[in-house]
């Protein structure tokens, strides 16, 4: 299944290359809502909240009221997750908050198991999508700037009991429209029995179909916003 992505920054719909360089900016949020109205699932990310420089909560509520969304960006507490669900999100995407950069793998791992367990108990694991982002073979957090001493495969194995689904982003290809890494995605899929959605460079219908054949959903942003992939 194709899942279109709406990324919000500074009150606008945006697309960034490698999470940094602004490539597309649009004021037409309602237009994109209309365009995505027929899709069974939308991914909505508040980049300002993710970066800790504010929120786009009013826009999140506007989108969630009209589209079936899973919402991410800055979900660092149980309260924030509950707020997003109350705003209309079907599920929440949680990433960096699961990991503790102060602890090494040798010291018992970098996973915040207490937080992961508390969140799952509070909102239900089936309403949680755990985001695992990978660059150069290592999990990256904090806007993909901090690399951790574990792989995506290790991360999904550690988090499997706390969520209903994983979102795996292959950051090496994100926003470049040069295709994704199917082998890396398959390795993550084989490491968990949970549902998996993949992101990062997915550009063509052929890639989406190949992932779908494996039971993996595909999040697409840049290819849609540039017109490279015609969602109609």
Residue 166 pairs with which residues in a beta bridge? Answer: 130, 196
Query: Does 172 participate in catalysis according to the annotation?
Result: no
The pLDDT tens digits of the residues spanning 171-180 come to 988 877 888 9
Provide the pLDDT for residue 17: 87
* Average pLDDT, integer, range 48-60: 93
Quote the tokens at residue 145: 């700037």
> CB-based contacts of 68: which residues, under 8 Å, 6+ apart?
39, 40, 41, 42, 90
95 within 8 A of 112, measured Cβ to Cβ: no
70 within 8 A of 41, measured Cβ to Cβ: yes
pTM: 0.93
The pLDDT tens digits of the residues spanning 73-86 come to 999 999 999 999 99
Would you put residue 137 in left (φ > 0), alpha (ψ -120 to 50) or beta? left
Q: How many beta carbons lie within 10 A of that of residue 31, not counting itself?
A: 11
Catalytic annotation, pick one of 48, 133, 183, 212? 133
Provide the pLDDT for residue 103: 62
DSSP assignment of 81-96: HHHHHHTT-SEEEE-G
Provide the pLDDT for residue 106: 47
Rounded to 5°, the CA angle 149-154-157 comes to 145
Domains of the chain as residue ranges with CATH: 2-225 (3.20.20.70)
Burial of 28 (0-12, 13-18, 19+ CB in 10 A): exposed
Query: Does 133 participate in catalysis according to the annotation?
Result: yes
Handedness of CA 66, 177, 131, 188 (dihedral sign): positive
């Amino acid at each position: 299944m194709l899942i279109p992505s709406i990324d919000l920054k500074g009150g606008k719909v945006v697309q960034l290359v490698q999470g940094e360089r602004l490539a597309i900016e649009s004021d037409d949020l309602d237009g994109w809502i209309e365009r995505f109205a027929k899709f069974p699932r939308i991914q909505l990310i508040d980049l300002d909240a993710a970066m800790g420089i504010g929120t786009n909560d009013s826009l999140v509520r506007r989108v969630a009221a009209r589209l079936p969304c899973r919402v991410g960006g800055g979900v660092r507490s149980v309260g924030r997750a509950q707020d997003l669900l109350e705003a209309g999100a079907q599920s929440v995407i949680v990433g960096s908050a699961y990991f503790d950069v102060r602890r090494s793998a040798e010291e018992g791992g970098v996973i915040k198991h207490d937080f992961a367990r508390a969140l799952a108990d509070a909102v239900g694991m089936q309403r949680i999508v755990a985001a695992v982002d990978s660059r150069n073979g290592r999990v990256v957090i904090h806007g993909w700037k901090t690399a951790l001493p574990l792989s995506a495969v290790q991360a999904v194995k550690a988090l499997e009991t706390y969520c209903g689904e994983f979102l795996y982003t292959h950051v090496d290809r994100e926003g470049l429209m040069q295709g994704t890494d199917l082998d890396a995605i398959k390795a993550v899929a084989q490491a968990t029995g949970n549902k998996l959605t993949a992101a990062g460079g997915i550009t063509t219908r052929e890639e989406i179909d190949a992932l779908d054949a494996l039971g993996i959903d595909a999040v697409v942003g840049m290819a849609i916003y540039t017109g490279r992939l015609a969602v109609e």
